[in-house]
């Protein structure tokens, strides 16, 4: 057993964001989920010990900040969430670190909050729950858009990863799921939405401007490892003006890390390893929406080499985040 695993898609909530998670669990499980989201230092630590997880990087639940239409409110709640997390981390810095929640509705404020969290709190980067709402609630702010140029310059200068986490598509964009609510959330809509957002970043030229920028995707890459060759192949034949200077696979292998959060499937892991290499994959559990023990048992028994198992469970994350 690898008893010192590192996990980095591990969620918490504060009271103003707590209700956002209720939709993702059956009604009978809500009180348990609520307890898990609000707790950091008690039952979470016990479960980490049982699963052999030595260290967790914590992040705010979804969609939280990204679903706030008022930029001023987003700035305020993000700051409160980050300060609450920082206070908890200072109690057990041997077991926890943080990812910043960011008010991406205001790119300049988001850049400033990221710098504050990295420099003042020692956070290891940011986790952002997909696109952000516009003030009227009818549009989406995706981060390849021109107004985010300064934000990405700041993120690249800080040298910390940006975890692009899923959220539901807006109601106005859910026609494909109409009459099929069971396909929403982590069943399918989460991955589809996030994969498109990641492709937008890859094809926008962002990584040509910032070749050292690092993006993290969860859930074994939101389906992209399986689909990347076809997307790259068709763009090579007919680019339709795509501004990216390199093939998609180059960005995916050089600018992205992939976590195992919420996807305990060895076949999918092997496909991802073949696409990006074992050095770019990181263990995570997606707690409390998934069980730490299930994820830990799976990575311990997956049909991979012991060298790759240790890389994925610990050493890749230790290197990426500068952990001892």
Cβ-in-10-Å burial (0-12, 13-18, 19+) of 15 comes to: exposed
- Distance (Å, rounded) from C-alpha 219 to C-alpha 222? 6
Entry pTM: 0.97
Written as six digits, the tokens of 131 are 């696109």
Q: Indicate which CATH number applies to the domain containing 244.
A: 3.20.20.140
Q: What is the mean pLDDT of residues 100-111?
A: 98
Beta-carbon count within 10 A of 261 CB: 27
Q: What is the mean pLDDT of residues 109-127?
A: 98
Q: How far is CA 80 from CA 45, 57, 115, 127, in A?
A: 23, 18, 15, 15
**48-87 b/e with 16+ CB inside 10 Å = b?**
beebbbbbbbbbbbbbbbbbbeebeebbebbbebbebbbe
Query: Quick one: pLDDT at residue 165?
Result: 98
**Active-site amino acid positions:** 286
Q: Number of structural domains, the chain?
A: 1
Whether 324 shows a pLDDT value over 80: the answer reads no
Beta-carbon count within 10 A of 156 CB: 18
CA 263 to chain centre: 13
Residue 21: name the closest of 64, 69, 56 by CA.
64
Residues present in the chain in total = 324
Average pLDDT, the chain: 97
- The residues that bridge with 140 in the sheet, in sequence order, are 133
pLDDT band at 148 (very low <50, low <70, confident <90, very high): very high
Q: What is the mean pLDDT of residues 131-146?
A: 96
Express each pLDDT in 223-247 by its tens digit: 999 999 999 999 999 999 999 999 9
Query: Quick one: pLDDT at residue 280?
Result: 98
Whether 24 shows a pLDDT value over 90: the answer reads no
Q: Domain of 11?
A: 5-321
- Distance (Å, rounded) from C-alpha 56 to C-alpha 280? 18
* Alpha-helical runs (H) found in 92-143: 107-121
DSSP label at 260?
-
Query: Quick one: pLDDT at residue 80?
Result: 98
Residue 67: name the closest of 57, 59, 58, 77 by CA.
77
Report the percentage of the chain scoring pLDDT > 90.
96
Express each pLDDT in 251-268 by its tens digit: 999 999 999 999 999 999
pLDDT band at 28 (very low <50, low <70, confident <90, very high): confident
Query: Quick one: pLDDT at residue 1?
Result: 83
Q: What is the mean pLDDT of residues 269-293?
A: 98
Q: How far is CA 150 from CA 2, 111, 165, 254, 319, in A?
A: 41, 8, 21, 22, 27
Express each pLDDT in 181-206 by its tens digit: 999 999 999 999 999 999 999 999 99
pLDDT band at 19 (very low <50, low <70, confident <90, very high): very high
Express each pLDDT in 297-323 by its tens digit: 999 999 999 999 999 999 999 999 999
pLDDT band at 26 (very low <50, low <70, confident <90, very high): confident
DSSP label at 284?
-
Residue 82: name the closest of 173, 2, 16, 164 by CA.
16
Q: How far is CA 82 from CA 26, 89, 128, 303, in A?
A: 28, 10, 12, 38
Residue 224: name the closest of 182, 263, 179 by CA.
263
Whether 25 shows a pLDDT value over 90: the answer reads no
Report the percentage of the chain scoring pLDDT > 70.
100
Whether 114 shows a pLDDT value over 80: the answer reads yes
Whether 294 shows a pLDDT value over 80: the answer reads yes
- The residues that bridge with 257 in the sheet, in sequence order, are 216
């Amino acid at each position: 057993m690898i008893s010192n695993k590192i996990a980095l898609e591990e969620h918490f909530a504060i009271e103003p964001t707590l209700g956002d998670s209720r939709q993702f669990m059956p009604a009978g499980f809500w009180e348990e989920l609520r307890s898990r989201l609000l707790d950091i230092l008690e039952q979470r630590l016990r479960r980490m010990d049982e699963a052999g997880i030595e260290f967790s990087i914590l992040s705010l639940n979804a969609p939280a900040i990204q679903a706030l239409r008022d930029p001023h409110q987003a700035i305020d709640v993000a700051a409160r969430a980050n300060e609450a997390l920082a206070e908890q981390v200072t109690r057990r810095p041997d077991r926890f670190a943080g990812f910043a929640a960011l008010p991406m509705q205001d790119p300049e404020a988001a850049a400033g909050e990221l710098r504050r969290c990295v420099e003042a709190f020692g956070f290891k980067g940011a986790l952002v729950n997909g696109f952000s709402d516009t003030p009227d609630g009818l549009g989406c702010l995706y981060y390849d858009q021109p107004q985010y140029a300064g934000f990405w310059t700041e993120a690249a200068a800080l040298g910390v990863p940006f975890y692009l986490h899923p959220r539901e598509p807006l109601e106005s964009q859910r026609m494909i799921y109409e009459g099929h609510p069971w396909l929403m959330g982590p069943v399918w809509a989460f991955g589809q939405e996030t994969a498109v957002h990641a492709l937008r970043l890859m094809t926008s030229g962002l990584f040509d401007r910032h070749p050292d920028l690092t993006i993290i995707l969860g859930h074994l890459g939101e389906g992209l490892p399986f689909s990347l060759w076809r997307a790259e192949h068709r763009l090579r034949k007919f680019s339709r003006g795509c501004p990216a200077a390199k093939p998609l696979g180059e960005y995916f292998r050089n600018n992205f890390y992939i976590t195992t959060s919420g996807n305990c499937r060895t076949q999918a892991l092997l496909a991802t390893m073949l696409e990006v290499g074992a050095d770019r994959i990181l263990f995570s559990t997606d707690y409390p929406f998934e069980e730490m023990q299930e994820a830990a048992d799976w990575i311990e028994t997956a049909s991979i080499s012991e060298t790759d198992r240790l890389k994925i469970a610990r050493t890749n994350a230790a290197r990426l985040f500068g952990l001892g």
